[in-house]
Amino acid sequence: MSLLSDVPQVSVSPLVRRVPVAADSEGYDCCELSTAYGLRPFDWQRTALIDTMGVREDGRWAAPRGGWSVARQNGKNGGAEMFEVHVTAMLGMRVLHSAHEVKTARKAFKRLLDFFDNPRRYPELAALVKEIRRTNGQEAIELHNGGSVEFLARTKASGRGYSADILLLDEAQELTDDELEAMQPTISASQNPMLFLMGTPPRPDKPAVVWRRFRQAAVDNLDPEMFWIEYGVEPDADFAAR
């Protein structure tokens, strides 16, 4: 039984929220689509998706770079699924999904397959599929509308030969400058690119150089085109409180 089984659904505000002004947001449609396919967003996921997927008058992302900082086991990967299903199926965008470890990248691939490789439950999404590659280390879902999600684990040379619109870096608290430098060119030719870091707060003894740099830029409000959504507790909070 869940420890929170007797507690009503809690709605919390982000500890850190930096989001530029947007004319509209794809996040509204993203949440509706996810709900229609049985993946109803939590309150925090809905807020984060609407903030992250804000668009300008010309339809380009209002915030082409940024990240989510969310503690483990709170639905971060579920939010990534909602995001990826929408931008590929509805917007025809190409996503390169990278994780720190092979097993994490493959797990993300299998979770997304539940939507695109399930013709009995989701015939509309299955009909969009052009090809599914299952070879270990080369997992990908390609759609007829041009959208795709490719999965790979990070190395200092990973990303070479790939081209995408959205670079989603999972486990980004482990991301190094060399890895970011190797992968960032994958979105350089896109007309509407996004660099999306997603991770959990690093331990104090971890360098997490890239992660801390992005977070500090958000906290100090140094980049007007950056989004940063961080859920956590205040430093002086009572950690024994439910």
Residue 61: DSSP 8-state? B
Read out DSSP for 134-198? -STT--EEEETTS-EEEEEE--TTTTTT---SEEEETTGGG--HHHHHHHGGGGTT-SS-EEEEE
- The answer, as to whether pTM is greater than 0.75, is yes
How far from chain centre, in Å, is Cα 146? 19
Sign of torsion over alpha carbons 55, 59, 64, 68:
positive
pLDDT of residue 11: 52
pLDDT of residue 15: 87
Ranges assigned E (strand) in 70-128? 94-99
d(Cα 126, Cα 143) in Å, to the nearest integer?
Answer: 9
pLDDT of residue 105: 86
**Residue 49: both structure tokens together:** 């998706």
Any long-range contacts for 125-132 (C-beta under 8 Å, 24+ apart)? 125/37, 125/85, 125/89, 128/89
- pLDDT tens for the chain, 242 residues: list them: 334 444 444 457 888 999 999 999 999 999 999 999 988 999 999 999 999 999 999 999 999 999 999 988 887 889 999 999 999 999 999 999 998 878 888 889 999 999 999 999 999 999 999 999 998 878 999 999 999 999 998 876 666 778 999 999 999 999 999 999 999 999 999 999 999 999 998 888 888 999 999 999 999 999 999 999 998 777 777 778 77
